[in-house]
Amino acid sequence: MKKKDTSDMSLGIKKSELVEWSEFIMDVIHVIEFRAMVLCVLLVAR
């Protein structure tokens, strides 16, 4: 029983890490999209 509890704990930690990683990746994608949009606007504005 105790062994199962520890495995559940580690699984919970992995899930929260996965959520943090997915949020981080989404933030990076948004930054890249924003920079690409700004570059396009600057190129068109010339």
DSSP 12: H
What are the C-alpha distances in Å from 12 to residues 1, 4, 19, 23? 17, 12, 11, 17
State yes or no: pLDDT of 28 exceeds 80. Answer: yes
Average pLDDT, the chain: 85
State yes or no: pLDDT of 22 exceeds 70. Answer: yes
Nearest 5°: CA angle at 38, between 45 and 31?
175
Does the predicted model carry a pTM greater than 0.75?
A: no
Q: What is the pLDDT of residue 10?
A: 73
Q: What is the pLDDT of residue 8?
A: 67
As a whole number of angstroms, the distance between CA 18 and CA 12 comes to 10
Q: pLDDT tens-digit profile of 29-44?
A: 999 999 999 999 999 9
